[in-house]
Chains A and B, each alone.
Chain A
Amino acid sequence: MVRAVEGSGVMRADLLVEPVAGCDEALAVVDGFDRALAGGLLRPRAGADVALAALADAVGGTPLGPLVTEAAEKAGAGVAGEEDLVALAGARVAILGSVHDALVARLDEATWRTREVWPGAGEVTQQSANLLAAARSWLADVARVGWHGMDHELVAGAAPVVSVMLPDTGLRRLATLLDGFAAELAASCPGATLERVPVRRWADLWSRAMLLTEPGAAGSRTVTGAGPADVVAAAGSSSTTATVTGRLLPLGIDLHEHATAVQAQIHAVLEPADGGAPRLVRASVSVPKPDTVVGMGVWQLLRPHMSLIAAFSEGRAMDLADMPITAEGDLRWSDDKARRSEPADPFAAARLVLPTATAACTAPLARHPARIAELVFLEGYKVADGVLELSGGRLVLDTDRIPEASPLTPELVRASTSCIGLVRWDAGTFTLQPLAVEAPVKKKATAVHAGAWAGGTADKEGVQAEKAAAEAVTVLRERAGKLLRK
């Protein structure tokens, strides 16, 4: 808190181009494991045993140590069981968690941000053990053959598990992950002919899915022993007993999507009614979708399920009353606990309230560099060659993450004078994903939001896209009405 008061509030981007101690070494261990996984653990490649032993060494001083050592030995000999694979996945997640922590600490230093500490255990969610076991069995089969050994038949094995899981929203997290992961694998089959493999990405997705097959991993509970299930479960999601009341100022919308799922995540600042420090929070809404619903169609699917989307599009704040919130700063949104409030300018909130806001921390199991999406406000920068330069540092612009149905364009970002965005990190580089910019449009400074069309639009191009997307969904619903209820 002291640091936030003392700080000038201007981001120290110079800190973001300096190396973070220990990261390269940790990532080298991860890379070794990832290559072993790529080659398959049934017949480990030459050198796989060394890479696996290095993974075990890296977590040697933690409660996972003995389990991972045993798992690494078995995997190196090609005889790893499912529990061993979970232990290896856990070790990889733990190492990347430490990289995450180092990167977030650096980011907090650069942004003068104060962050809460993890409060510890919370609730246990009940999930079907059979379905989790089926998912784990598929993931284990995939690990045994590796990316280069997979074929259509093996990959297709995920579909029946996913189909049964999806209707249960308690299993949605794992089901959605498996669905997106399996689609990528299916499109890359047969693995034997793959020219290149997204080695870290698929190992990320595999290891996260593997951990989510531990009963309770998507919730959390107290540590009762030192088995992998306990370590994993204690580090899962977060307690939900807390609620918040106050004014919510939405600053920007981040969209995530794969072929058959979409999620909108609204980044906002909450001003508690009790006068406490403002908090950085998120509100999320997600839904599975057919792969032909794209562009404006995804906003149409999400729109009816969260009143905050309309409020954001109208440039309004919302008043929350007793809205549940997790320790990760995720609101568990329910429309009946939110009321439309006064108009609120996101850029004014970004300038005045964001610098004083406290950030939440990430649940231990969820820590990973790819999870970093830190809300920032920047101005006084220059944009050249896809890089934003400021205060002796630079951030690579990730304009690719701007949704397709959006008035925000890379050109507007290039011409912008200020920006609300998310700082991310991937493969050694901090990047900036623009959520909104102020830029001259017809010589007039105008705020343009990536998620401006989320709630609907009067823009000519947008209206056409709305119509086409609505038609596509109508065709599918008509077919579904005829065929699914026969």
Chain B
Amino acid sequence: MSEWEELSGVRVLPAARPRKLAKVPFVELADGRLQGVVSSGSDIERVYVSSVAAGDFAFACSTNNNRPCGGVRGAFCKHIEAMIDEAVVQYGGQRVARYLHVDLGSMAPNATDIRSLMDQVRPSASAAKPAAQVFSRFLRHLAYLELEPTTEPLPELQWFAPSRAAV
């Protein structure tokens, strides 16, 4: 085996990079999609649930009550664009592009280029409507803030080192 394969402590996932959460409180690369929750510009009670699938970039956007987003007609709406931008801040452009299968070629992995590369494929609206699932993932994510701390040692966390180095 190569040395990398033999490392117990190898860092597989870099830590998320800090970002402001007010506009896009939640993004994740999961279930073969980039998906997230985007605040409505006008109504504090309303959020949009947006997603883009890896590979064909099939997209969806609706409110958490399943009302379709008015801006999502044949192309990415501003919520999807904001979600992609924030995902690039949080995970870095390389990781977002790799997960979505965006071939960057020699381009820099910034959000604008990643968006325009996806645009060129003329993606269509997704047949799947993952809003409910994504929203419940968001609630699960928020629930982590409510869990009790413990002073019992967790020995297995020795395997999870913090990392200064971006992977």
A326-B162 Cα distance, complex, nearest whole Å: 26
Question: Given A169-B148, A404-B15: A399 and B7 within 8 A (CB)?
Answer: no
**A265 engages B8 (CB within 8 Å):** no
A306-B153 Cα distance, complex, nearest whole Å: 13
**Chain A residue with Cβ nearest B31:** A152
Q: Please report whether the interface of chain B is mostly helix, strand, loop or mixed according to DSSP.
A: loop
**B18 engages A198 (CB within 8 Å):** no
Segment with Cβ contacts to B, from A84-92, A292-300, A439-447: A292-300
**A480 engages B146 (CB within 8 Å):** yes
A22-B73 Cα distance, complex, nearest whole Å: 65
Give the most central of B8, B18, B90, B156: most A CB within 10 Å. Answer: B156
Counting CB contacts under 8 A, is A391 at the interface? Answer: no
Question: Given A177, A297, A427, A477, which contacts B156 in the complex, CB threshold below 8 Å?
Answer: A177
Segment with Cβ contacts to B, from A184-192, A312-320, A339-347: A184-192
**Chain A residue with Cβ nearest B29:** A187
Counting CB contacts under 8 A, is B164 at the interface? Answer: yes
Question: Given A159, A286, A473, which contacts B149 in the complex, CB threshold below 8 Å?
Answer: A286
A window 181-206: CB within 8 A of B: 183-184, 186-189, 196-201, 204-205
Question: Given B7, B28, B139, B165, which contacts A201 in the complex, CB threshold below 8 Å?
Answer: B7
Counting CB contacts under 8 A, is B128 at the interface? Answer: no
**B21 engages A180 (CB within 8 Å):** no
In the complex, chain A residues whose CB is within 8 Å of the CB of B19: 292, 472
Q: Closest CB-CB distance, A9 to chain B, in whole Å?
A: 27
Counting CB contacts under 8 A, is A483 at the interface? Answer: yes
Taken residue by residue from 14 to 42, chain B's Cβ proximity to chain A (1 for < 8 Å, 0 otherwise) reads as 01111111100110111110000000000
The tally of residues in A whose CB lies under 8 Å from a CB in B reads 98
**B146 engages A400 (CB within 8 Å):** no
Interface residues, chain A, with chain B CB atoms under 8 Å away: 27, 31, 34-35, 152, 156, 159, 163, 166-167, 169, 172-173, 176-177, 180, 183-184, 186-189, 196-201, 204-205, 208-209, 212, 255-261, 263, 265, 282-292, 294-295, 297, 301-302, 305-306, 326, 328, 330-334, 366, 368-371, 373, 399-404, 410, 424, 426-428, 465, 468-469, 471-473, 475-477, 479-480, 482-484
Q: Would you give 27 A-B contacts (Cβ < 8 Å), ordered by A?
A: A159-B140, A166-B147, A173-B155, A177-B156, A197-B5, A199-B5, A201-B10, A209-B156, A257-B162, A286-B151, A287-B147, A289-B144, A289-B145, A290-B142, A290-B145, A291-B16, A368-B8, A371-B155, A399-B164, A400-B165, A402-B164, A410-B164, A471-B21, A480-B142, A482-B45, A484-B142, A484-B146
